[in-house]
A and B are shown apart, each in its own frame.
Chain A
Amino acid sequence: MADTGTTLGAPAERREGRDKVTGSARYAAEQTDAGRVHAWPVVAGIAHGTVRAVHTGAALALPGVLTVLSHDNAPRLAPADDATLAVLQSPRVPHRGWIVALVVAETLEEARAGAAAVRVDYDAVPHDVTLTDDHPDAYTPEQANGGSPAHREQGDPEAAFADAEVRVDTHYRVPPLHNHPMEPHAATARWDGGRLVAHDSSQGATTVRTVLASLFRLAEDDVTVISEHVGGGFGSKGTPRPPVVLAAMAARETGRPVTVALPRRFMAALVGHRAPTLHRFRLGATADGTLTSSLHEVTTHTSRIKEFVEQAAVPSRVMYAAPHRLSSHQVVPLDVPSPSWMRAPGEAPGMYAVESAMDELAVEAGLDPVELRVTNEPDTEPDSGKPFSSRHLVECLREGARRFDWARRDPRPRSRAEGPLLVGTGVAAATYPVMINPAQATAHGTPDGRFVVRINATDIGTGARTVLAQIAAHTLGVPLDRVHVDMGDSDLPPAPLAGGSSGTASWGWAVHDACTRLAARLAGHTGPLPDDGLRTHADTTGSADADSPYARHAFGAHFAEVTVDTVSGEVRVRRLLGVYAAGRILNARTARSQFIGGMTMGLGMALTEGSTMDGASGAFVESDLAAYHVPAHADVPDIEAHWIDEEDPHLNPMGSKGIGEIGIVGTAAAIGNAVHHATGVRYRELPLSPDKVLTGLTGLTPPIPTPTG
């Protein structure tokens, strides 16, 4: 790469920041096409059964109502690979909150009034929404999310555990969690003759285009999906969602552009959630803390219509050396909404368990938790035996310990009090895999010395637009302000979604290749450029997705200091520090935002966030941001993210690892471990809310979750 010395790694400001804060950035629901109308879903009031009748007369008689779609009259879609997209296709109700009708009206208010006037009769049958780890319907799937084998076993972990000098045998529970991005899922669709054009709040418009083309039996060239600005997704917009399908359906039926914007209260059931996970964790070690056995068994739920298995036992295959190992998943299909991706699926709940268990082992063996991790640092990836492309977990732990002043810590639990406050500190490691997918991009140099890069990447608030411009400018050896990036439109060269912390690596590789070619052509060109400039194209198929002989992961370490109020049971975080080894950091400003954003979400997972399933209704009861408690500013007083310089030649031309998710991984364990250090009580069920903490402090009931229930 040509080195301008300033563009790659520099803290460049977000290119669309001004548009966003001034309100001129248009989101999917804000596409005010001429004649645009609105639709409002009607959702199921039962958790299991069938729709017997949809009574639409009263709604159709209301002013402004154009049509009411239900399984009786909605256009037939081609079969969907993702059953959550087969909306209004059958009378079956697989869970509470499933969409059973859609009212289309001239205005949003008329659509909402119409939806309230639709009466639905059901044939309800009993439902089961309660996850237990001895549920009779539990089974071991072939694969967990991401294609990992559900079950892996090496050596004789049971026997090695039984023979271990030091043992930890414990359970953890992580509740259902919801992504709740700031911008609710929304789409605006219109038909131009036989062409479908949709604005969708999505993490990847290319995938949405493919799926819409399939569902509506169109050629992909007859579908355009635009996701220019997206107000967060955290995984919930990584797969196409019902609003864009419904908007396309309704637009076809009415001949008008239609907007479907989900109200917040419908989101809990319709756009995925992190499935609850029940963990049994056993660690066996020698007296000096060397692991001999590791057994991580996860039970989770999925819906009746879609198998999604949160791969929470997978990080056990990456983290620590142990000759005897087991990691397994079982899943229970229930009458619940379909779970899906939420920031660091697998790693976030899995590492809560791994890193809590390691802390328990450190306490049991009387070892420093940092040193225990260093002791068990593997030479190769434990499960695969592959060498790591780079692994600087120990350096992250050491650097974090130095910055956090870990050496001054009194390791004894409940050793520090300030009046009614107990004070504690905790540590946990973090990891997230390197994922890269093929992408295409074009680069265009114009005679006036400007450059345009075109690629259907998506900026969901991460700064992708900015960092791709930096990669282009760096590769071309030109100032950043000479480069324009076109993205967020499926008519652009196809690219994978913003997910799995893979976006920058995947898109950046294609941008790099296109710009490298353009730079070479410019270097070989003499005289003025032709009027329409020079264009190059790159496709990283075959290179970006080539099998690597290396195990490739980012690593990190989280340190937390908490106070636990013995009067109220309130836990507050005083300090949160993350140190990461994630390859080359491409934009110091937006990278820091990703890290501390992930850490803040991990803080929420530890202390405030959780969704509660009502057994009688089958609904998640937290339906707005007043009830689903994401951390407020006041919860995050002192948060720092740092990174170490990591050179890794086995990644991509930029040398970067993904950074969008690792901040949430391990943070909950660091905070939970700090709470144990503060109180001497080991809480094993998240979130650590005052009801649980106070109950544990006063010994009213055992704080240890029962294995079932």
Chain B
Amino acid sequence: MKNRLRVLRAEREWSQAELAVQLDVSRQAVNAIETGKHDPSLPLAFRIARLFDMPIEDVFEYEED
């Protein structure tokens, strides 16, 4: 699943570690989400969307297989 997490994080000048602290996940989790290696769970996806104050569909883009 594509996402704009890296762009949104960069706009706020947050490091991966800082974002990880805000989301209460590991920095590796943030990196894996940004690189598409890990699709976040729904609760985490909603936390991310609320953190950036935008709809979840603006952060994550579902791709058909």
Do A and B belong to a common assembly? no
Residues of A bordering B, CB below 8 Å: none
